[in-house]
């Protein structure tokens, strides 16, 4: 039995990009069923949840063999058991790991800094002063990333893999900007990945509980209860 911990509800800006979608997507691609364990934002600080996820974040994951946190590690774990997400040969597996970590370590920090400014601090003086430099750094990374992709469809071994799940999710966090339109090969890549049925199911499964909570409590979306 596989269980993925996710939030019951998050504010609209985060809906569709909470990191459990990485794990849901990997499981869908691998053809593995799972249960979601939905927690409230208030559960983040409980001792019981901190024992599962030391930072009080989602996702957390468990199956019959392991208990884990960190979405990248979880996706890698799932991929190691799935031909759909990682080829069998050592060189091919190494290339998937390389691009998976490139997404998290070489691209995500830049994208995350921009998102932190835009989504949480846009009106602050320090954010206004810093933003141009941060956007320039993002654009430089994207230019290098687009050059690395070249005419290929996927990042590792010219076939879809776990690395594409991480890379797509990281690049999705630019969707509040129009930056990707200046990188058409990356924009096409993200669009290609997002049309995969496994992604659509993962997105739907993340969003469904949010809609349920909002129907129960209209105040969450600014309506009256
Ligand atoms: N490095 C962690 C980051 C997890 C993370 O940032 N989760 C966010 C949702 S996308 C969260 O739980 N935020 C709530 C909080 O930090 O209190 C991972 O990839 O699993």
Distance 173 CA to ligand 1 centre (A): 13
Distance 164 CA to ligand 1 centre (A): 19
Helix, strand, or coil (residue 142): helix
Mean pLDDT over 113-131 rounds to 97
Q: What is the pLDDT of residues 148-199, one digit of tens each?
A: 999 999 999 999 999 999 999 999 999 999 999 999 999 999 999 999 999 9
Confidence of residue 223 (pLDDT cuts 50, 70, 90): low
Nearest CA to 18 out of 55, 58, 54 is that of 58
Q: Is the pLDDT of residue 224 over 70?
A: no
Q: Which two tokens stand for residue 219?
A: 């105040």
Q: What is the pLDDT of residues 31-66, one digit of tens each?
A: 999 999 999 999 999 999 999 999 999 999 999 999
Q: What is the dihedral of CA 42, 169, 181, 15, to 10 degrees?
A: -30
CB distance 166 to 100 below 8 Å:
yes
Q: What is the mean pLDDT of the chain?
A: 96
CA dist., res. 157 & res. 96, Å (int): 8
The closest-lying atom of ligand 1 relative to the alpha carbon of residue 56 is 17
Q: Is the pLDDT of residue 225 over 50?
A: no
Mean pLDDT over 69-92 rounds to 98
Confidence of residue 2 (pLDDT cuts 50, 70, 90): very high
**Candidate from 49, 55, 57, 59 with most ligand 1 atoms within 8 A of CB, to mutate:** 57
Mean pLDDT over 124-133 rounds to 98
**Candidate from 19, 49, 101, 170 with most ligand 1 atoms within 8 A of CB, to mutate:** 19
pLDDT at 188: 98
CA dist., res. 163 & res. 155, Å (int): 7
Residues paired with residue 139 on neighbouring β-strands, in sequence order: none
Using CB distances shorter than 6 Å, the residues near ligand 1 are 18-19, 44, 56-59, 70-72
Nearest CA to 76 out of 196, 166, 198, 200 is that of 166
In the chain the domains, ranked by start, together with CATH numbers, are: 3-84+198-221 (3.40.30.10), 90-194 (1.20.1050.10)
**Candidate from 55, 113, 119 with most ligand 1 atoms within 8 A of CB, to mutate:** 55
Proportion of the chain above pLDDT 70, given as a percent: 99
Protein residue closest via CA to atom 15 of ligand 1: 57
Mean pLDDT over 13-25 rounds to 96
**Beta strands 35-39; 3-7: pairing state:** parallel
Q: What is the dihedral of CA 193, 27, 84, 145, to 10 degrees?
A: 40
Nearest CA to 216 out of 24, 208, 58, 45 is that of 208
Confidence of residue 221 (pLDDT cuts 50, 70, 90): confident
């Amino acid at each position: 039995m596989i269980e993925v911990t996710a939030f019951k509800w998050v504010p609209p800006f985060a809906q569709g990009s909470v990191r459990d979608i990485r794990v849901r997507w990997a499981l869908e691609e691998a053809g593995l069923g799972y249960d979601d364990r939905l927690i409230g934002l208030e559960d983040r600080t409980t001792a019981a949840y901190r024992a599962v996820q030391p930072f009080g974040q989602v996702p957390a994951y468990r199956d019959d063999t392991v208990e884990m946190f960190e979405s990248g590690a979880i996706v890698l774990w799932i991929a190691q058991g799935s031909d759909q997400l990682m080829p069998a040969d050592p060189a091919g597996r190494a290339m998937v790991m390389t691009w998976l970590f490139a997404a998290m370590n070489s691209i995500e920090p830049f994208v995350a800094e921009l998102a932190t400014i835009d989504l949480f601090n846009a009106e602050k003086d320090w954010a206004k002063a810093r933003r141009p430099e941060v956007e320039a750094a993002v654009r430089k990374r994207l230019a290098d990333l687009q050059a690395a992709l070249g005419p290929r469809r996927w990042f590792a071994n010219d076939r879809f893999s776990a690395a594409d799940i991480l890379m797509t999710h990281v690049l999705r966090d630019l969707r509040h900007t129009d930056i990707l339109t200046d990188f058409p090969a990356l924009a096409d890549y993200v669009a290609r990945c997002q049309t995969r049925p496994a992604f659509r199911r993962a997105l739907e499964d993340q969003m469904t509980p949010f809609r349920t909570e909002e129907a129960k409590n209209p105040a969450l979306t600014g309506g009256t209860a």
